[in-house]
Chain A
Amino acid sequence: MKFRALTTAAIVTLWSASAHSVMAAPLRLGTGSKGGDFDLLGQALVADLAAHGNEVALAPEITKGSCENIRRLLEGSLDFALVQYDVAAEAYRASLSVVPGGADDQFGGWMCKISPELARRADLRTVVAISDSAVHMLVRRPVRLDDLDAIGSAPIFIGKDGSGSFETARVILGAGGKPLEQLQLFNGSADEALAAMGRRELLMMLRTTGRGHADVQDVLDSGLAALNPLPEDVLNRLIDGYPYYRVCPIEPKHYRGGLEFSLPTVCVSAVLLTAQQKSGVVVDTSETVGTLLDSLGRIAADPQHRELGLELRFRGFAEREPIPLHDTAATRESRSNWTAGLEIVGLLIVLGLVIFFGRRALRRRGIATGFAFEGQLSNPLVPFAAFALVVVCSTYLVWWFEHDSNTRLRTLNESFWEMNTFATGNFSADALKTSGARLVGAVATILGLGLLAWFTAALTNIFAQDQTRLWRRTREHFVVLNFREDMLPLIRLLRAPGPARLRSLHVVVPDALPKRVRLQLGKIKALTIHYDNPEAPENLAALRLPRASRVIVLGGEAESRSATSYDPLRIARAVHQACARDPHNLALQGKSGHAARAITVASSSEQTSRVPLQLPVTLVETSESEPDEIFEPFSGWLVPIDNRQLGYTWMATACRDPAFAEFFSGIVAFSDANAEVYTIALPAPVHGQTWQTLRRALYALPAPERGGGVVPLGLYRASVSEETRRPSAHADLRTRLLLNPPLGTRVAAGDMLVALCEDETTLQQLVRHLRASA
């Protein structure tokens, strides 16, 4: 045991000494060609480490690019390397392939011809992704390539062999079915290629560089070439076969004046790689990696190095990221995720506290803050807002799932419109590639359909409620009290086309009304049925009678009058009481109104009649047993109509004047003839004229093209004594009708003309002519 312990201590001591010697030596960093972005980054790292007095010494080495870097990293001649991620991922995949013994040479098809044997020498680890590069397809103007087959045998430039750009271009052309052997490649530098393009010797250049790169901007500015999009089928095949790329757009903002629309292409990241050799001494590079990450962070934040386009990311820089993160990078990523999570939780807590204390403060001030979800069910804004939320959330989620791999969802804008399509019920599995996105799309479709149904139902409900509210409105409305079956024609007339049709109609029906009649009433639009005792003023309160245009009180059936039938006089009293108790009248009466409202043992008639009430014009159907004198106290606002006696008078008159029956029927029934009676205000110019002059002027008016003219019947003269109370029932009922007035009668201000005409509009037109001619 003692020997074993001593041996172990010796090995640890030797390993520590060896590691220390390794750490003390400069770290070899493979960059790229001299003067390139990778070279500049290497120099920046050296400068930064030196500036911060780190023990880590970095020795950047100029290389030919990603291919040399990955190769040397695997061989162990570099400690760190800047490599394009597609090249690195291919090497990692090569290390995982199973190769039969002795057949290694047959497996050199990976990028940069990395053999599996070489790849297996070291374990690659990603430190961090540092920048993005996009594939730029520059095509000589005015040619535009929609298909790579169009290249034919024309010379193209895809970069220097051995560079990451070259390897990327190779797989892109391969995805388009163009192996390099079939293409005429331009051998030379990028500058030489541009010169060749200027001489029209080069058709196309494929360059993998950062978006907004100055060289590309110069080319676009020169007008030699234009950026073309990578064909969609090529993009899809590329992503499917090489998921180390991701779909990304080149936006107009990247090149001023060089692009009108966004161009789809692929992006690939450059990563800082390290490798742990499988043979030899295990070196702990945790501290070194941490130091490099810190340094990279500082350089990325330094405005002086903005042109390098550094954007450090541990994840999410490729569709698939097979190379594991270095332990230190993984720890940093985990810490970063935790920090972000805690920040979100903290924000939510703050938000919750703000809402909690805000609500409490509002409640203390008596302001309702409850959402009342049940009350919001009929609010169409709720499903609309929910729909918008679903679309927005699914837009982001689907974009997050697919923007690297789906050419149709490169931007949030495209994802938004796609999700609108989904949420309105047009699910399409072909539009999405990943299972996660499809799941989100399916959920968005189901939720969207439900929310749209809710939205539609809420809107329909509003329309129905508005219509119902319109029907039930209690302003300028008609009220029929104590309705009976034989008055159905009255309802039909009031609902017939004409001015009365637009008024809401409230019908109070007695219990004795047969069910079939109630059902018939229920089918009539804009009619509200009230099942109440019309003799009780309380039952009439909801009808807002003072604001009614007309109140019609019907008598009971003559044949079936019993102790349970309602009496028109008692109903008229109830109308008066209901009006007296109406808030509008109470407000007019003030304290005296409230006093009169109270039922007491005795009250003086003076007290009750001191303040005039706002009452509707009320028509009461009376009978022979109820002489008009009974209704005398209500004469200011009530018109008793003995319909039965009027019927007898009608028959008697029809016997005396044979033409009466036909004429009366015509004007009552609004027949097609020009025989409808209307009243209309007379214009000021005719005031003071005699009835004869006015009549002759009306006869002289040209008749409308179709229909008759106007036949003046008389004047409808407003009551002078009630002038101040207009509009009121009292004023209406004191208006005098002068039919066939003496020819010398002077037309007074406020007089209305009673005339026969085709319709009200025609009468208005003719009276307008009268005004003009006067």
Chain B
Amino acid sequence: MAAVASTQGDALGRLVVVNWTVEALGLVRALQDLGATDLVLVGTSPATAVEANLLAARALGEVRYLEASVAAGVETFAEFLVRSVEVGTAQSVIVLPHRGRGETDAFSRLTCTAIHRACRGQPPRIVVAVEDPEATHEFAGLGVATIFYPGFLRAALLAHACVDLGVLRFMFALLRGKLRVQSWPLPAELRSKSFRDACLAVEADPEGRPVTVLGLFTAEAGMLVNPGPAYTLAAATGLLVLTGQDA
């Protein structure tokens, strides 16, 4: 079975984290745990104040810290992102909330605007962490791929723990990196078949490790999780697969 390199690979590529502070050292650790080797951290703290905290991270890969902020102006910051960060070459950009500069999410939106301009409308994958879920719609049109609300994640994990510890364990497994949710190309022989056929046919990865087909992708609806066994794969563009093991 031919794998789709873009979604099945382990490489995180070049990553940029904006509004980074020393408190977010855990993010650096998480990225490096997943294999990130080229990190650019952009923050408002003086470089001298953070350098000592990055020593351990730098032992695991390239980690660069640059002092800059959109507070200097969107255009100025966009130019900085082009010139100093080369944001256009990054695979993903993570925008963290920057507290103490007026309304936090508004500040993040300005940052995204700067990234959008720096990339001339074709930004890399942008992941923004917001503090207020109501601010989500403000990021429309800025090329933001994922808007993350950490507050809901915390609440949801604890709420699921109250209902079913098994489900909490499943979420932990997804978060701790042993399991992966990947998109695989749809094998040609399954194109005229149903989702049930795909589930029965795709039982293991090329290395023989068990996998589970979770859903599929279509051009119209995007991701469809568990569409039903009879769902035809004619319009499917790929499969959503759970890989890895957690035991």
Q: A residues touching B (Cβ–Cβ < 8 Å)?
A: 478, 486-490, 492-494, 498-500, 503, 549-550, 552, 558-559, 617, 619, 621, 624, 639, 641, 643-664, 666-669, 673-675, 677-679, 691-692, 695-696, 699-703, 707-714, 716, 732-733, 735-743, 752, 754, 756-758
Q: Mark B233-247, 1 if CB is under 8 A from A, else 0.
A: 000000010111111
Give the complex CA separation of A735 and B164 in angstroms. 12
Give the complex CA separation of A591 and B46 in angstroms. 62
Interchain nearest-CB distance for A82 vs B (Å): 92
Interchain nearest-CB distance for B162 vs A (Å): 5
B contacts with A, residue count (CB < 8 A): 86
Closest to B131 in A: A486
Name the segment of B64-72, B115-123, B150-158 touching the other chain: B150-158
Q: Mark B210-231, 1 if CB is under 8 A from A, else 0.
A: 1111110000001111111111
Contacts of B30 in A (CB 8 A): 645, 648-649, 651-652
Instruction: State whether A668 touches B153 (Cβ < 8 A).
Output: yes
User: Mostly helix, strand, loop or mixed at chain B's interface?
Assistant: mixed
Closest to B163 in A: A500
Instruction: State whether B182 touches A708 (Cβ < 8 A).
Output: no
Instruction: State whether B153 touches A647 (Cβ < 8 A).
Output: yes
Give the complex CA separation of A653 and B30 in angstroms. 9
Instruction: State whether B170 touches A754 (Cβ < 8 A).
Output: yes
Instruction: State whether B148 touches A651 (Cβ < 8 A).
Output: yes
Contacts of B166 in A (CB 8 A): 679, 716, 735, 737, 752, 754
Contacts of A660 in B (CB 8 A): 174, 180-181
Q: B residues touching A (Cβ–Cβ < 8 Å)?
A: 7, 10, 12, 15, 23-27, 29-31, 33-36, 91-92, 94, 99, 125, 127, 129, 145-146, 148, 150-167, 169-171, 173-177, 179-183, 196, 199-200, 203-204, 209-215, 222-231, 240, 242-247
Instruction: State whether B226 touches A709 (Cβ < 8 A).
Output: yes
Q: 7 closest Cβ contacts across the A-B interface?
A: A489-B155, A493-B159, A490-B155, A679-B166, A675-B225, A708-B228, A655-B92
Contacts of B247 in A (CB 8 A): 736-739, 741
Give the complex CA separation of A504 and B136 in angstroms. 32
Give the complex CA separation of A752 and B31 in angstroms. 33
Give the complex CA separation of A703 and B199 in angstroms. 14
Closest to B17 in A: A651
Closest to B227 in A: A708
**Of the candidates B15, B228, B246, which one forms a contact with A674 in the assembled complex, judged by CB atoms under 8 Å apart?**
B228
Instruction: State whether B212 touches A712 (Cβ < 8 A).
Output: yes
Instruction: State whether B162 touches A549 (Cβ < 8 A).
Output: yes
Contacts of A701 in B (CB 8 A): 229
Instruction: State whether A646 touches B157 (Cβ < 8 A).
Output: yes
Of the candidates A559, A621, A646, the one having the most CB atoms from chain B within 10 angstroms of its own CB is A646
Interchain nearest-CB distance for B119 vs A (Å): 16
Instruction: State whether A649 touches B177 (Cβ < 8 A).
Output: yes
**Of the candidates A550, A645, A658, A743, which one forms a contact with B145 in the assembled complex, judged by CB atoms under 8 Å apart?**
A658
Instruction: State whether A643 touches B157 (Cβ < 8 A).
Output: yes
Contacts of A651 in B (CB 8 A): 27, 30, 94, 127, 129, 148
Give the complex CA separation of A756 and B242 in angstroms. 12
Contacts of A498 in B (CB 8 A): 163
Contacts of A737 in B (CB 8 A): 166, 169-170, 173, 246-247
Contacts of B165 in A (CB 8 A): 617, 732-733, 735
